[in-house]
Each structure stands twice: as C-alpha cells, then as structure tokens.
Amino acid sequence: MADISAQLVKQLRDKTGVGFMECKKALVEANGDVAEAEVVLRKRGVSVAAKKAGREANEGLIEAYIHPGAKLGVLLELNCESDFVARTDQFQELARDIAMHVAATAPRFVRREEVDEAAMEKEREIQRARALAEGKPEKIVDKIVEGRMSKFYEEVVLLEQPFVKDNSKTVQDLLTETIAKLGENITVGRVVRYKIGEES
C-alpha cells in the first residue's frame, strides 16, 4: 500500500471537492497517482449518485441568468434535498453554470423522457429520408437512423448535451459529480429560455 501524504490528499481534495477520507481511500487504491485517484472518485461518484437518485429533491433554488445585452434570459429550477445544500457555493455555482449553458445551447427538453413522440417521429423521418438520399442501403438505414437519433438527443436534451465549459462531460456528468461531492440528490426541475423576438 502506498504511503499517502496529507499534501497529496489535500491536492486531490482541492481538485475534486470530495471529503478527506474518500480522497485518501481513492489515493490508496490508485497507489498515490492523483489522476488515477480522480478516476476512482468519479466511478464512486456515479455509484453514490445512483444510490441517491431515488430520493426526494424538494428544496433548491431558482437561478435567473440574463445574458449581457439583456436580449436573452434563462430561469432555471435546480432541486436538492435540503435548504442547507441549496445555500452552498457549489450548488449555486452549479445552478449558474447550467443556466448559462441553457442560454448558450437552447435545449428543447430537460431529459430524454420528455421528448414527445411527434418530435421523435418527425426526426426519424428526416433522418431516414436523409440516409436514403445519401444512397445508404435500405437494410442498414434503420441502424443509421438510430445512430443519428442519439445525436439528435445530444442536441435537444439538456442532460445529454456536452457541457459548454468542458465538453468532455455532459450536463448529467456535471450533476453526478456534484451529487457525489454534496451527498444529496440534485435534479433539474423546470427551465425556461427567453430570447427577444423568439417564441418560447
């Protein structure tokens, strides 16, 4: 087992925001490699987030973001389990980041389950016609359409979009990491994006 210094633990803790003991355990598991320990924590975070996903999230805040020039604005409801967590800097920063992300990317839905059948069918028809027009063989067109539907969800579903500040992770990954750090379930409630001259 690697000898883990307090300095190394602090370095990982500063990077991830995860508790001291969790950081130490991850560093032991990763033989003192900080980058590897980060991966260990992220994997654990996913399992921590999965355990918390079923818990009620009835607290939180409403974040209002107005883009410079005041022609674009977002109202975002971000939920958590307690008022204590809602008041933390990390939670408030998450709300700001997601609201700015919404302003930049204009998602039409928060989660995949909200995409209505009509929108999905219309997109499938468009992608099917596109694949056939490109001369793709009929027998593989359905597979191509399903692949392109994944891209469609990535474009219109908030939680599946690459996060604008770090496109190596999705908005859902960002939520999952924050759930692991704060120890509470966090969900995006409602989102409204307003732009001058555009229908909501």
pTM score = 0.69
- pLDDT (tens digit, 9 = 90+) per residue, 55-92? 677 899 999 999 999 999 999 999 999 889 999 999 99
Q: How far apart are CA 104 and CA 76, in angstroms?
A: 14
Tens-of-pLDDT digits for all 200 residues of the chain?
457 888 888 888 777 666 677 788 888 988 888 888 888 877 776 556 556 666 677 899 999 999 999 999 999 999 999 889 999 999 999 999 999 999 999 999 999 889 888 888 898 899 889 888 888 888 888 888 888 888 898 999 999 999 999 989 999 989 988 988 888 889 999 999 999 988 75
* Amino acid, res. 59: E
- Cα dihedral across residues 41, 47, 48, 49: positive or negative: positive
The domain locations on the chain are 6-52, 59-110+157-195, 116-156
Structural fold of domain 116-156: GTP Cyclohydrolase I; Chain A, domain 1 (1.10.286)
Spatial strand order of the sheet with 59-66 comes to: 59-66, 72-80, 187-195
Query: What class is the 59-110+157-195 domain?
Result: alpha beta
Backbone angles phi, psi at 193, to 5 degrees: -115, 125
Q: What is the pLDDT of residue 1?
A: 43
Q: What is the pLDDT of residue 12?
A: 82
Q: What is the pLDDT of residue 52?
A: 62
**Right CATH for 6-52 from 2.40.50.140, 1.10.1740.10, 2.40.30.10, 1.10.8.10:** 1.10.8.10
DSSP state of 74: E
Q: What is the pLDDT of residue 51?
A: 61
